[in-house]
Amino acid sequence: MFHLLNRLTDMKSKFITGFIVLVLTGCAVGPKYSRPDVKKNEAYAQVITQTDSITNLKWWDVYQDTVLQKLIRVAVDSNLDVRTAIARVDEAKAILGFNQANLFPFIDYRAQGRASDFGAISQNAGVAFPGNSNSLLGNVSWEIDIWGRLRHANRAAFADLVAADETRKSIYISVVAQVAELYFQLRGLDERLEITRRTYETRKEYLHIISLRFEKGETSELDKLQAEQLAAAALAQTYSLERAIILVENAINILLGQPYSPLVRGLQNDQQKIPLDIPSGLPSELLERRPDIRSAEQQLIAQTERIGIAVALRFPSLSLTAFLGVASPDISNLFTGDAVLSSVTGQLAGPVFRFNQNKRRVDAERAKARQFAYQYERTLLVAFAEVENSLAEIRTYTNEFNARQTQENATGRSLMLSKALYDNGYTSFLQVLDSEREYYNSQFEKSLALENQLKSTVRLYKALGGGW
């Protein structure tokens, strides 16, 4: 038994010594990653300097509507895209662990016992066949990572894990933004439906009055037909808006991971209090904020490491195999000194001529890396464009909303004067209908401008990488 322990200790020392020597002398092949030099703006086209920024707030601090907050929380917990992204992160973690295990020696065991009377038969026949045999062996196999193939694979798997997690964050932000945008759209549709219903009731009242006057011969049939036309148009618009509301509710329910159900409403759009402070930072800060940019870069890093894997496959590989154990025909002698067996084998294997197969493998991985580099650059360009677009939308929709408010006040006053002139016989009913139509359109457009202003704030929040 002491002899067996001595043999084990001796082999362990040899393996440790060999490991240190080979690790110190090993050299990794393949390119090292460097961030691509991409074109970017030196500053945003439109910047409003503030001491604080919307990007420094969590989504529950940005959206004060408690109903909207509840919808976002349900979506974050139950959205199927988010759950899929989380599962992909778990998959990437498992793959990383699998690759990390390849860096270490594998230890296996094998126990075998055989009882046979072939030995007695073979002696009578004059032929030597083995009889009983028993063995207990431990195997150690280890590929020495001289050229860095396993290290490249490990770093590639780690980059894939980081990319998957950044993609999860990007999907998280997208889901929050989609719920907020659709909610503001829903509340805008609710407002426009209410405007249209009030307008329909007003036009129906006009139609009733004009019909009575037509029966008395006090007005023409043309006035009656125009009033009837406007009333029907408002009624048709209510059905269109009701249909749009159901479609938006369905879209929100899908984000919540649930079948259709009517949604509870919270604040109206004109009651929403969303901070509109615009950040004063530089576009280069997007490189550190936006998870989709970081994900694209990590994918490029992973592919760069895979080039190293392909390059390493062009060089010979060194592996060590060893076994240590005991073997004896008699179990009672299995743990004696004479029963000990051991062996250490080193193997060097490499390609000689494969008709440029290994070279083409490297070329293919380099081409893939160029694709990821182009996608990384495109992701940056899209990110900068989204920020610029959102800044422009916030500015223009804010100005448009202010102009629509002025328009609504003017058309409302014009309608009141037109009705007064018509009631006193100074103008035709056509002018009243035109004024009423303009007033309705101004209310409708003001509602749209407010909705778009709120939605553009959501887009800026998303474009700047906030919310996670």
Q: Which residue has the tokens 């269109």?
A: 240
Average pLDDT value for the chain: 86
Domain contains 210 = yes
Which of 114-118, 202-206, 226-230, 319-323 is predicted with the least confidence, judged by mean pLDDT? 114-118
Q: Which two tokens stand for residue 347?
A: 């193997």
Confidence of residue 328 (pLDDT cuts 50, 70, 90): confident
SS3 state of residue 327: strand
Angle between helix 291-312 and helix 357-423 axes, rounded to 10 deg: 170
Domain contains 159 = no
pLDDT of residue 264: 95
Query: 376 with 418: CB under 8 angstroms?
Result: no
- pLDDT at residue 433 tops 80: yes
Confidence of residue 281 (pLDDT cuts 50, 70, 90): low
Domain contains 85 = no
Q: What is the pLDDT of residues 186-237, one digit of tens each?
A: 999 999 999 999 999 999 998 998 899 889 888 888 889 989 999 999 999 9
d(CA 293, CA 284): 11
Q: What is the pLDDT of residues 147-201, one digit of tens each?
A: 999 999 999 999 999 999 999 999 999 999 999 999 999 999 999 999 999 999 9
Domain contains 389 = yes
Q: What is the mean pLDDT of residues 270-277?
A: 80
Report residue 4 CA to chain centroid gap.
57
Domain contains 340 = no
pLDDT of residue 300: 97
Provide the residue range defining the domain that includes 281: 35-78+170-290+358-463
Domain contains 418 = yes
CA dihedral 455, 459, 461, 465 (to 10 degrees): 160
Domain of 60, CATH number, reads 1.20.1600.10
Q: Indicate left, alpha or beta for 356 from its phi (over 0: left) and psi (-120 to 50: alpha).
A: left
Which of 321-335, 372-386, 452-466 is predicted with the least confidence, judged by mean pLDDT? 321-335
Backbone angles phi, psi at 349, to 5 degrees: -135, 135
Domain contains 68 = yes
- pLDDT at residue 105 tops 50: yes
**Is the model more confident about 14 or about 240?**
240
Q: What is the mean pLDDT of residues 30-48?
A: 72
Query: How many distinct structural domains can be found in the chain?
Result: 1
Using alpha carbons, select from 208, 176, 104 the residue that is nearest to residue 461: 176
Query: 46 with 128: CB under 8 angstroms?
Result: no
d(CA 368, CA 300): 9
pLDDT of residue 147: 93
Query: 226 with 206: CB under 8 angstroms?
Result: no
State how beta strands 340-349 and 317-328 pair.
antiparallel
**Is the model more confident about 313 or about 41?**
313
The burial of 389, by beta-carbon neighbours within 10 Å (0-12 exposed, 13-18 middle, 19 or more buried), is given as: middle
State how beta strands 133-144 and 317-328 pair.
antiparallel
d(CA 385, CA 137): 65
- pLDDT at residue 15 tops 80: no
Domain contains 338 = no
| DSSP 8-state symbol, 265 | P
- pLDDT at residue 2 tops 60: no
